Amino acid sequence: MKNDERRTHNEGQIRAAIERLLTGHAIHTDGTCDATTLAAEAGVSRQDLYRSYRPLLDEFRRHLRRIEESGGPSDKRAAALERLGEKLNQVATRAARYRIERDDARGERDANASRVAYLNEQNRVLRQQTDRARSVPPVRRIDK
């Protein structure tokens, strides 16, 4: 490849890497928005990025500054981590609520099991009393 072709190719790679990093779709790196990661994502050396492609690096940094000034996260990875942290907190809260509900249900189950055992015992006693009452011969009347 000639120098002009290589330069055009590398500029295209760097611009594509800028786009991927800013949208949070890094392919070759962890997505951190800094010069080292930009160089690695583009497949060029960091020294070349600073020496030969400084205008593109400055453009990348301007994009990051604009995003920060608009209140958005400059690092999509950090924003994703923050969202995941919030989601984890929600799931942990829900899990705690479910544990409380489970423990309450277990308590109700145990109380109901005790009630059933008591009613079974009462039923047994009543059956015994009825069986005894049936086994008593009827009293005959004596007519005078």
Q: What are the residue boundaries of the structural domains of the chain, listed by start?
A: 3-74, 76-134
Beta-carbon contacts of 67 under 8 Å, excluding residues fewer than 6 positions away, are 22, 73, 74
Per-residue model confidence (pLDDT) at position 86: 92
Contact 127, 133 (CB under 8 A): no
Mean pLDDT for the stretch of residues 39-60: 93
pLDDT score at 62: 92
Residue with tokens 């899990």, as numbered in its chain: 95
141: confidence class by pLDDT, cuts 50, 70, 90: confident
Q: What percent of the chain has pLDDT over 70?
A: 92
- Counted residue by residue, the chain has a size of 144
Question: Phi-psi region for residue 2, left (φ > 0), alpha (ψ -120 to 50) or beta?
Answer: beta
- pLDDT score, position 107: 96
pLDDT at residue 4, rounded to an integer: 87
**Sorting pLDDT into bands at 50, 70 and 90, what band is 93?**
very high
Does this model's pTM top 0.75? My answer is no
Confidence of residue 136 (pLDDT cuts 50, 70, 90): low
Neighbours of 93 (CB within 10 A): 10
Query: What's the rounded mean pLDDT across residues 46-52?
Result: 92
Q: Which residues contact 56 (CB under 8 A, 6 or more apart)?
A: 11, 14, 15, 18, 49
- What are the E-state strand segments in the chain? none
Using CA atoms of 58, 64, 68, 72 in order, give the dihedral in degrees to the nearest 10.
160
Mean of pLDDT values over 104-117: 96
Average pLDDT, the chain: 88
Counting beta carbons within 10 angstroms of the beta carbon of residue 26, is it exposed (0 to 12), middle (13 to 18) or buried (19 or more)?
buried
Question: What pLDDT was estimated at residue 16?
Answer: 94
9-to-33, 45, 97, 100, 125 alpha-carbon distances in Å? 22, 14, 56, 60, 94
